[in-house]
Structure 1
Amino acid sequence: MPRQIWAPIALLGAVGAGALSLAPATAPAEPLGASRHIEARLESETATPAPGQRVRLAFMLRAEPGWHGYWLNPGESGAPPSVGWNLPQGVSGGDLRHPAPETLTLGGLVSYVHEGSYALMSELRVPRDAQPGTALPVTATLNLLACSDQACVPETKTLNLELTISDGKVPPPTRRRFDSLSARIPRPIAEEAEARVADGQLFVSLKPPRGIDPTTVRLYALSNDHFEPSATQTARVEDGQLVIRVPTRLKDPPASLKAVLSSGASSFAVSARPGSSRARAGAESLPGGPAPFAAVADPAAADAPPSGRPAAASPDRRRVAPVSSAEGPASPTLLMAFLGALLGGLILNLMPCVFPILSLKALSMVRSGRTESAARTEALAYGAGAVLVCLALGAGLIALRAAGSQVGWAFQLQDPRVILVLVLLTFAIGLNLAGMFELRSFGFGERLAGRNGAGGAFWTGALAAFVATPCTGPFMGAALGAALMLPAAGAMLVFAGLGIGLALPFLLVGFVPAARRRLPKPGAWMNTFRRILALPMFLTALALAWVLGRQSGVEGMTVGLAATLLLTLGLWWLGHRQTLGVRRSWAPALPLMLAAFAAILVVPADPPARASSGSREIGLKEPFSPARLAELRARRVPVFVDFTADWCLSCKVNERLAIDTERVRGAFQQAGVVILVGDWTNGDPAITRFLAEHGRNGIPYYLFFAPGEPGKELPQILTPSLLEEAARRAGGADS
C-alpha cells in the first residue's frame, strides 16, 4: 500500500484508539460522607423534578475492605437492606433495586452479598398536581447489616435531599451517570423460563440471552424455598436452550420462580413457570449426573485444598469461582456476529447514497486503464477507509456506553450537526456528479495519492461507510447487538466485518480481472450515467434536510438551507473558474464553502418538542414507553412495537410498504392491536435501554405481543401479509 495513505489511516486509527481510551477500566471512586463500615449517600438524577415525573434515585454505598452488605435475598445468613421514606403528602418512594450479588462462603454458610462500591436504585414519584416552586424535602432511612469475617453490625443511615418542583430537566452528565448505574440492575428477559423437577434436580431452561457464557452462569433465587444457596449448579446450552441444574428438595416444580441470572458482567431478571416438553427433554436426557454440564461451582468446595494437604487456618471465606469449559460459546457467537455484520455491510451497498459512489469509483477504475497493481491498491485503500470508519464508530460506541451513555448504533446521526455535515457532503457530491464543478477524478483526497488515486479511494470508502451505517438492515441487527455483549476485541472484530462487507464489491472489482471485464466498456455513455447518479445523491440530501428539520425544527432547517445555498454558490464559482481555465480556481470559493460548513456551530443542537404521534384509542399509534407497554400487556391488549427514526431508510420503507398500508391498518383495528412507536431520531435513553435489554443496539426493530404471550421478534423486512397474520393470531389468542 503506498505510503501516501498511511497518514489518513494512522489518523483514523488514532481516533479509534482515543475513543477506546475514554472507557475507564474501573469507575472512579467518589468521596462519600463519613459513616461506620458502609458509607452511604443519596443522589437524585434531578434537583428540579416536574409534576408527575418519576425521578431515579441512587443510594451510593461503599463497604470498607473486608466488610460487605447483603442482597435482597441474603442467602443462608445475613439480612437484606430496607428503606423507610419520610416524604410530603402525595409523594411516594419505590422499593430498592439491586445489582447482581456475589456469592460468599463464611463458616460453611453461603451468602449473597455486595462488596466494595455499589449502588441500590429506587424511584421517587411526584404527584401530577404538584405546584412549580414548591420545596420537596426527601428523607430516606436506610437500614443495613454490615458484616465481616468476624462480626456483623446493624447500621442505620438517615439521608436527605432538598428538591424543588420545576421543569424536570436532567443534566446530560447526570443522565449518563444514572444510565450507567441503572445498566447494572438485572435486565428483564421477555420470555419466561421453564422449571421442572426430576430425580431430586431442579432444571431451569430458557432461551440464552445474547452473549451469555454457560461457564460463568449462576442463578440467584429471590427465595431459598426452591434450592439451597450452597447447592452445586451446573449449566449448558442444549437445543438452543440454556439449561441450569441444581439439587432441590422439591417434588414438583414451583408455581413461580423468581431469580437473577448472572454471567460475568451481565445479569438478567428471570421468571420461571412449570416447564413444558422442552424443559422436560433437557431434564430427562441427563439423568446420570453433572458430568455433561459445565460446572458453575460448588461454593462449599470452591477453595478446597488439594488432596493430602491441610487446609489453611484462615477464616472460611470463599467465593464461587469461574469455571473452565472445553466448549467456548464465545467463538460461535463471535463467528455468527462477524458473518452477520459482513452480510449486512454487503447489503448496505444498495443504499441510494452508497451505490452512486461505488459505481463511479468502479467505472473510473475501468476508464483510467489502471494496471493490476494499481487496481488492487485502490481496492485496498477503499476497503481500509470503510473498515477504519466502522472501527472508529464502533470504538466510539463502546467507549460512550462504557462511560454510561445510553447510545446505540448510528448514534452519530442523532446529532443535528452531524446531519448538517452530511447534507452538505451529499449535496456537494450530487453537484459534482451533475457537472457543476470537477475534481481531477471522482473522490476526495485524490491529490494525496498522486498518480494511483489510492488517497481518493480511501476517503471515498470512509465517506461511504459513514453515510451508509445509520440503519441496521438484514443480518446486521443481531450481529451488532451481540457485538456489545462481547469483549472489546471481539466487538471490534464485528465492526471490522461490517466495513469489510461494505468494501467487498470494490475489492471484487479490484482483485478479480474477470469482474472488471464484465463492467461496461468505457464510452460517452459514462457522462450520461454520471449525471443520472446525481439524482439519488440529491434525494439523499433532501431526505437528510428533512431529518434536520425534524431534529432541530424550522430554525435548524433554515440554517441548513442557508448553508447549502452558500456551498452551492461557492461550488458554482469554482466550476465557472475551472471552465475559464483560471489558476487556483478554488481560492475565491473557499471562504463560501468554509462558511457553509461553519453553520454547524449555530444549528440548534437541542431537539424541539415533538408532537405526540397517536392517541389512546385502540388500533391507533401511541408513543412508546415501557410503562405503557406493561399496562397494555396487563390488560391483555395485543401490541405491535415499532422502533424507528427519521434517518433510518429501512424503517421508512417498512412503514410505507407494510405498516401504514390499508390492509394492515384494517387487520390491526379488527384485532384491537395498539401500535407503540419508539422514535429514536434524536436518541432516547429509555428506548436505548429497552433495545439493549433485548440484545439490540440499532434499528429497525419490531416486536409483537399477543395477549398473554411473550414478545415475538419480527424480521427487519416486513410485509403486509406477515403483519396481518400476526394480527389474526392475536385476535384468536384474545378470544
Structure 2
Amino acid sequence: MPNSRLFSHLALFACAFVACATATTGHADEPLKINPLLFEQPGFDIGASDAEPEITASLTPGNAKPGDEVTLSVKLGVPSGSYTYSVNPKLLGSTKIVIGETVGLEAVGKKTFTPDHAPKALFDETLEMQVEKHLGDVTWKRVFRIRSDADLSQVAVKGTIQLQVCNDRRCLPIKQDINVALQTDTADPGQEVSTTPVTFVHEETPEFLGKPGAASVRVEISPADAKPGDRVTLAVNIIVKEGWHTYSITMEKGPGGLPTTIDLKKLQGLVPMDDTWTASSEPEEKPLDSDPNRILEVHHGTIRWTREFRVADDATSYGVGGLVQYMTCEKNRCMPPKRVTFALGNLQDAATVAVSSSDKPVATVGSEFPQEFEVTDSDSASGLPWFLFSAFLGGMILNIMPCVLPVLAIKVMSFVQQAGESRSRILTLNLAYAGGVILVFLILASLAVGVGLGWGGLFQNSTFNLVMACVIFAMGLSLLGVFELPVPGFVGASAGGQHREGLTGAFMTGILATLLATPCSGPFLGATLGWSVRQSPPIVYLVWTTMGLGMAFPYVVFGLFPHAIKWLPKPGNWMVRMKEFAGFILMGTVIFFIYFMQQAYVVPLLVMLLGIGLALWMIGNLYDVTSHIKHKMTVRITSFALAAVICGFGFSLTNTTVSTAKLPWEEFSEAKLQAALAEKKTVLVDFTADWCMTCKTVEKFALNTPETKRLIEQHDIVTLYADYTHQSPEIKRWLEKFDSVSVPLTVIFPGNQPNRPIVIRDVYTKTKLLKNLNAAVEATSPTTTQASLNNSSVDTAKLPWEEFTETKLQAAQAENKTVLAHFSADWSNALKTVDKFALNTRETKRLVEQHDIVTLYADYTHQSPEIKRWLEKFDSVSVPLTVIFPGNQPNRPIVIRDTYTKTTLLKNLNAAVGATAPTTKQANLPQSASR
C-alpha cells in the first residue's frame, strides 16, 4: 500500500482521537463537569463537629490617641481536630496576611505578623516534608502607629487573609477580606470587630485561571437609611457576558447545568416579608438534548432577583450576609461554578460570619439527617509512596482487563513480527507504544485537574462514544478483510508486500489501548484515584503518570529484553486466523459501546456505522493496485462523500430526537385516565410505538409543536402517552375499545363529555389536531394540571432495587432501617462482576429480605451531579462503590470499594444489621443546598 494511504489513515485516526478527547469539554448538551475540590466549591465540612472556621479582626486599644501604637489582631477559630499552617513564607501552604490599605496609620518595626504562640514543626507524611502547624485557635498580630494628623473616626485597615484549615483527610482553602476600624471608647475593649465591611453594595467579578470570569455579581440592599418599620429590598444581580448564560434559581438539580442558589446565612435587624425571590424576567426553557425530560432554565444578559424585608421595630441597625453560587455556560463549554460571599449593612451585633463550604440554607440546619459520617474503609494505608505504588501496580493490571483484550491481540501479533528486528528498533517501537499510553494518562490527568473528570469519565460523553465506536468498527472491518487498513500497531499483508510496524502505529496503539482501558477499574485504582484528585495538581499528574508507566511497563520490558519475544510462536498462518479473530473481538467492543449508550444515540450510531461500512467496502473492493489513478480517486471521493452524507444524517438524528415543544407527557394508565376525567379535565391520549414511523411523523409535525403545546397549557389538558412498542396487553385492550389494531391512534376525551371521545386515526395534520382539541375544550373549565413524564426506571435484577435519592435515604434512616446503596454505571466492567457474584445472589437477597434492608441503586452512567456529589462524600471518583448505612448508626457507614466477593458483602451486611461495625475513621461529608 502506498505510503500516502498509510499516512492518511493514521492521520485520520489521530484526528478522531483528538476530537474524542476534546468532546468531553465541548459538547453543547453535556456541559463541562467541574472538580469542586480544585475550585473551592461547596461540598465538604472541615471539622469533626458542626463548628466552622471563624475569622475575626480587631484594632486596639480603642482609647488610643494620635501618636499611640495600636495592634491589629487577626484571630482564626479552628474547629476541634483541625489545624492551619504558619505564616512562614518558606513552607508549603503557609498562611498569608496582606495589608492592602491603611487610613491614618503608619507601620512600626517589621512588616510581618507574629502569632500569639509558636507553631509546631511536624513532618507531614503525605507531603514528605517539614511543615509548621497551629493545632488550635491562633491570633496573628502586627503593630501600627496612629499618625499625628489622623482623624480617629477614620482610622482603619483593609487587607486579605488567605489560609487553609485542614484535618487528617482534606483541606479547605479560605480567602477573606479584612476591613476593620479603630474601636471607640464606648466599645467593649475585649470585643473583636467583625471582618465584614460596613457597606450596602457588594460588587465582584470572580476570576477563572487568573482572568475575569463570564459574569459579574452585584448584591445591594436599599435604602441604606431605612428606619424601623420601613421596607428594604435585597437585590442580587448577575451580569452575564454576551454569548454566555446562567441558570435560574427555580431549575431543578440535574444534568446539563447547576441552578443558581442564594443562601442567607444571617440577618441583623431585618424581618423577611416572604420566603420567595422575584426574578426580573422569566427564564428561557431549553430541553436537554440527551434527556427529553430535563428542562434547563437559562438567563441571558442581566438577571435581577429581589426579596423584601422589614426593618424590625427595635432595630438600631440592620444588615444581611450570605452567599450566591452560580454557573455560567456558553454554547460549547461551561465555567466552574462560582461562589460570591457578601455581607451588607451593619452586622456588628450578629453572630460572626462563618466561612463555610456548605450550600445548606439556614432553614435546614436543624435537619436530623446525619451530615457527618465515620466511614469504615478498607484503605488503611496512606501516604504518597503507597499511592504511587498502588497506581503503578493498578496500571500494570489494566493490561489484563477485558477492555484491553482487542488491542492486546493486535499487540501480540506485532511482537511476533518484531522477532528478528534489531534490539534498538524493538526498544524504540515499544517506547513509542509507552509514549502513547502516557500521553493519554497526561490528558486524563489534565481533565481531572481542570474539569474534575474521573476515571472512565470519557465514556460518559456521547460524542466520544460515537467516534470511538466508528473508529473501532472500521478497524474491525479491516481485520476481517473487508478492506486493507494499516491498523495502528498491526502489520497486514497486501499486494504491495509485507509492511512493518512503524513508530506512528506503535504510538497510536498505545493511545487506543489506554482509551479502551478507561471503563475498567481494577484493584488499587478506586482508592488511589479518589485520593489523587484531592491533592495539588503536581501530585495528580505524578500519580496518573505513574499509572501510565505501570501500564506501559510490560512492553518496555519486552523492549529491553527482546529475547523474550522468542517465547511466542513463529510467524505463520495462525496470524491470519488470529487477525480475523481480533476483528470479531473489535466488533464485540462496538456492541459494548451500543449497550451502554443512551437510547437516543443508538439509531444514529447504527446509521453512521452503515455509512462507514459502505465506504470502506467500496475502497476495499472497487479498485486494486492495478487500477488507474483516476478510477481510484473517483471511488475514494465517492466513498468519502457517501460516508459523509450518511454519517452526517445519522449524527443529525442526535439533535432532533427531542422536540423543543415536547408536550408534558405522562405514562398512560387507566387509573390516571380515570383520575383526570373525575376532575373534569380534557385528556389527550396518544397511542404510539417506537417502531411506527407514521407515529413519529405525527409526533413531530402535529403533537410536539409550539402551537399544540400552547393550547395544551392554556386549557390545562392532560396528555397521556400510551407506548405500544412492546404490545402491552392493557394498551391493546384500549385500542380494541376504539376498533383499532394498529397505531398511531389519538383519542381526545372532553372534560365535560368523557363518554364521547374524539378519535383521530392514522396520520393527521396539526390543523386537524388543533381543531379537535378546541372542540373538546369548548365547555371545559380550566383546572390545575400535573405533568412531567418520568421514563427513568431501575433495573431491579434480583434484589428489590429502588432508584437512589437523598430523600429515600433519609426516609429509610428515619425508620432506623439499614440501607445498602450501590453506586454503579453501565460502562463499568468491574460492576458486572460485583452484580453477578456478590449483589444479585440468593444468599444476599435472603439476608436483605430477612432484615428488611433497603436497597438503593445509584446510576452514574450519565454522571448525575447528585450521584457524583455522593461519590465525593466517600472520597471516590469511580464506580463500583457500595455503601452500607447501619440502621442504628447511620453516621457510620461501611464503604466497600472496587470489586469484592459475596463473602465480603455478607460479612459487612451482617455487621451493619448487628450494629457491630468495627472501629472507624472520621470522614466529614458535605451538606448540599436544596433550593
After TM superposition, is the score higher than 0.5? Answer: yes
Corresponding residue number in structure 1 for 2:580: 531
Rounded to whole Å, the distance in 1 between the matches of 2:636 and 2:411 is 23
User: What is the identity, as a one-letter code, of the residue corresponding to 2:861?
Assistant: T
Corresponding residue number in structure 1 for 2:896: 714
Rounded to whole Å, the distance in 1 between the matches of 2:374 and 2:461 is 41
1:651 aligns with 2:831: yes
2:383 partner SS: helix
Give deviations 1:572-625, integer Å, cap 9, x for gaps: 22221466754657554333444465444552499996523279xx96212222
Counterparts in 2 of 1:443 and 1:561: CA distance versus 1, 3 Å: same
Q: Between 634-643 and 364-373, report the one with greater CA deviation.
A: 364-373
Corresponding residue number in structure 2 for 1:234: none
Corresponding residue number in structure 2 for 1:576: 621
Rounded to whole Å, the distance in 2 between the matches of 1:707 and 1:160 is 35
Corresponding residue number in structure 2 for 1:156: 319
2:861 partner SS: coil
Task: Indicate conservation of the 8 Å contact 1:338/1:497, yes or no.
Answer: yes
Q: Any residues of structure 2 matched to 1:592-603 within 5 Å, and which?
A: 592-595=642-645, 598=648, 599-600=650-651, 602-603=653-654
Task: Indicate conservation of the 8 Å contact 1:383/1:500, yes or no.
Answer: yes
1:52 offset after TM fit, Å?
12
Give deviations 1:597-654, integer Å, cap 9, x for gaps: 5444552499996523279xx9621222233323323322111111111111111232
Corresponding residue number in structure 2 for 1:385: 436
**Counting helix residues as a fraction of each chain, which structure ranks higher?**
1
1:679 offset after TM fit, Å?
0.9
1:154 offset after TM fit, Å?
5.5
Unmatched tracts of structure 1, length 5 or more: 61-71, 73-79, 94-135, 144-152, 162-168, 189-257, 259-267, 274-330, 402-406
Pick from 417, 426, 437 the counterpart of residue 375 of structure 1: 426
Q: Any residues of structure 2 matched to 1:225-264 within 5 Å, and which?
A: none
Task: Indicate conservation of the 8 Å contact 2:886/2:912, yes or no.
Answer: yes
Counterparts in 2 of 1:444 and 1:703: CA distance versus 1, 3 Å: same
Task: Indicate conservation of the 8 Å contact 2:270/2:318, yes or no.
Answer: no
Q: Any residues of structure 2 matched to 1:170-569 within 5 Å, and which?
A: 178=337, 185-186=356-357, 333-368=383-418, 369-401=420-452, 407-440=453-486, 442-443=488-489, 453-548=502-597, 551=598, 553=599, 555-569=600-614
Backbone CA RMSD of aligned residues: 5.0
Corresponding residue number in structure 1 for 2:164: none
User: What is the identity, as a one-letter code, of the residue corresponding to 2:856?
Assistant: L
Rounded to whole Å, the distance in 1 between the matches of 2:564 and 2:545 is 24
Pick from 262, 270, 275 the counterpart of residue 58 of structure 1: 262
1:395 offset after TM fit, Å?
0.6
Rounded to whole Å, the distance in 2 between the matches of 1:698 and 1:462 is 21
Corresponding residue number in structure 2 for 1:112: none
Counterparts in 2 of 1:534 and 1:371: CA distance versus 1, 3 Å: same
Task: Indicate conservation of the 8 Å contact 2:406/2:585, yes or no.
Answer: yes
Give deviations 1:436-460, integer Å, cap 9, x for gaps: 222246549999xx96601011111
Q: Between 415-424 and 570-579, report the one with greater CA deviation.
A: 570-579
Task: Indicate conservation of the 8 Å contact 1:379/1:509, yes or no.
Answer: yes
2:538 partner SS: helix
Corresponding residue number in structure 2 for 1:627: 807
Task: Indicate conservation of the 8 Å contact 2:391/2:528, yes or no.
Answer: yes
Give deviations 1:109-131, integer Å, cap 9, x for gaps: xxxxxxxxxxxxxxxxxxxxxxx
Counterparts in 2 of 1:270 and 1:690: CA distance versus 1, 3 Å: closer
Rounded to whole Å, the distance in 2 between the matches of 1:409 and 1:390 is 10
1:472 offset after TM fit, Å?
2.6
1:697 offset after TM fit, Å?
1.2
Rounded to whole Å, the distance in 2 between the matches of 1:40 and 1:545 is 51
Corresponding residue number in structure 1 for 2:248: 47
User: What is the identity, as a one-letter code, of the residue corresponding to 2:621?
Assistant: H
Counterparts in 2 of 1:400 and 1:158: CA distance versus 1, 3 Å: closer
2:585 partner SS: helix
Give deviations 1:63-82, integer Å, cap 9, x for gaps: xxxxxxxxx8xxxxxxx656
Rounded to whole Å, the distance in 2 between the matches of 1:180 and 1:348 is 39
Task: Indicate conservation of the 8 Å contact 2:819/2:885, yes or no.
Answer: yes
Pick from 847, 853, 866 the counterpart of residue 667 of structure 1: 847
Corresponding residue number in structure 1 for 2:296: none
Task: Indicate conservation of the 8 Å contact 1:437/1:578, yes or no.
Answer: no
1:34 offset after TM fit, Å?
5.2
1:613 aligns with 2:755: no
Counterparts in 2 of 1:441 and 1:563: CA distance versus 1, 3 Å: closer
2:855 partner SS: strand
Counterparts in 2 of 1:57 and 1:34: CA distance versus 1, 3 Å: closer
Give deviations 1:7-47, integer Å, cap 9, x for gaps: 989x98xx99x999x9834584734245689x985479853
| Higher Cα Rg, which structure | 2
1:57 offset after TM fit, Å?
2.2
1:725 aligns with 2:912: no
Task: Indicate conservation of the 8 Å contact 1:417/1:603, yes or no.
Answer: no
1:699 partner SS: coil
Q: Between 655-664 and 565-574, report the one with greater CA deviation.
A: 655-664
Number of paired residues?
Answer: 502
Rounded to whole Å, the distance in 1 between the matches of 2:334 and 2:843 is 42
Corresponding residue number in structure 2 for 1:589: 639
Rounded to whole Å, the distance in 2 between the matches of 1:179 and 1:624 is 27
Corresponding residue number in structure 2 for 1:302: none
Counterparts in 2 of 1:444 and 1:394: CA distance versus 1, 3 Å: farther
1:517 offset after TM fit, Å?
1.8
Task: Indicate conservation of the 8 Å contact 2:824/2:860, yes or no.
Answer: yes
Task: Indicate conservation of the 8 Å contact 1:82/1:142, yes or no.
Answer: no
1:540 offset after TM fit, Å?
1.6
Task: Indicate conservation of the 8 Å contact 1:424/1:597, yes or no.
Answer: no
User: What is the identity, as a one-letter code, of the residue corresponding to 1:707?
Assistant: G
1:540 partner SS: helix
Counterparts in 2 of 1:578 and 1:383: CA distance versus 1, 3 Å: farther
Rounded to whole Å, the distance in 1 between the matches of 2:322 and 2:449 is 35
Percent of aligned pairs sharing the same letter: 24
1:269 offset after TM fit, Å?
7.7
1:426 offset after TM fit, Å?
2.0
1:488 offset after TM fit, Å?
0.7
1:414 offset after TM fit, Å?
1.6
Task: Indicate conservation of the 8 Å contact 1:362/1:509, yes or no.
Answer: no
1:486 partner SS: coil
1:341 offset after TM fit, Å?
2.3
Counterparts in 2 of 1:654 and 1:176: CA distance versus 1, 3 Å: farther
Corresponding residue number in structure 2 for 1:299: none
Task: Indicate conservation of the 8 Å contact 2:426/2:562, yes or no.
Answer: no
Unmatched tracts of structure 2, length 5 or more: 1-6, 26-33, 40-207, 226-232, 239-245, 279-304, 342-354, 360-367, 376-380, 659-788, 918-931
User: What is the identity, as a one-letter code, of the residue corresponding to 1:622?
Assistant: E
Task: Indicate conservation of the 8 Å contact 2:491/2:500, yes or no.
Answer: no
Rounded to whole Å, the distance in 1 between the matches of 2:424 and 2:904 is 49
2:319 partner SS: strand
Task: Indicate conservation of the 8 Å contact 1:612/1:623, yes or no.
Answer: yes
Task: Indicate conservation of the 8 Å contact 2:220/2:235, yes or no.
Answer: no
Task: Indicate conservation of the 8 Å contact 2:834/2:899, yes or no.
Answer: yes
User: What is the identity, as a one-letter code, of the residue corresponding to 1:432?
Assistant: S
Corresponding residue number in structure 1 for 2:87: none
Rounded to whole Å, the distance in 2 between the matches of 1:422 and 1:52 is 30
1:560 offset after TM fit, Å?
0.8
Rounded to whole Å, the distance in 2 between the matches of 1:732 and 1:87 is 50
1:532 offset after TM fit, Å?
1.8
Counterparts in 2 of 1:443 and 1:82: CA distance versus 1, 3 Å: farther
TM-score by length of 2: 0.47
Task: Indicate conservation of the 8 Å contact 1:426/1:540, yes or no.
Answer: yes
1:561 offset after TM fit, Å?
0.7
Q: Between 660-669 and 723-732, report the one with greater CA deviation.
A: 723-732
